[in-house]
Amino acid sequence: MNGITRIILALSLISAAYAADDVVSAVHGTVDKVDASGHTIVVKTADGTEHSVHFLDNTTVHGAHAAAAGATDSWHGIEKGSDVVVHYTKRGTDDTAVEIDKVGKGGLKATEGTITGIDRGAKTIAVKTADGTEETFHLTDHAAKDAGKGIAEGSEKGSKVVVYSTEKAGKKVAHFFEGA
Q: Are 58 and 117 contained in the same domain?
A: no
pTM for this structure? Answer: 0.71
> Domain with 173 in it: what CATH number?
2.40.50.320
Together in a domain, 152 and 121: yes
pLDDT(108) > 70: yes
Q: What H or E segment, with its residue span, contains residue 164? A: strand 160-168
Whether residues 67 and 115 share a domain: the answer is: no
Helix and strand tally (H, E) in the chain? 2, 13
pLDDT given at position 61: 83
Largest interatomic CA distance in the chain: 68
Let me know the angle formed at the C-alpha of 50 by 82 and 71, rounded to the nearest 5 degrees: 45
Report CA torsion sign: 19, 47, 150, 134: negative
pLDDT at 113: 93
Taking only the tens place, the pLDDT of each residue in 7-25 is: 333 333 343 344 444 677 8
Of 79, 102, 125, the domain-final residue: 102
For residue 72, what pLDDT is reported?
A: 54
In tens, the pLDDT along 112-139 reads: 999 998 887 888 999 999 999 999 999 9
In a domain, 126, yes or no: yes
Residue 16: its pLDDT value, please? 39
Q: Return mean pLDDT, the chain.
A: 77
Q: Which domain holds residue 144?
A: 109-179
On whether residue 3 sits in a domain, the answer given is no
Q: Is 133 left (phi over 0), alpha (psi -120 to 50) or beta?
A: beta
Residues 73 and 114 in one domain: no
Q: What percent of the chain has pLDDT over 90?
A: 29
Assigned domain for 15 exists: no
Does 114 share its domain with 93? no
The predicted-structure confidence for 34-62, as pLDDT tens digits, reads as follows 988 889 999 999 999 999 999 888 888 87
Does residue 74 sit in the same domain as residue 143? no
83 and 38 fall within a common domain: yes
Do residues 45 and 73 both lie within one domain? yes
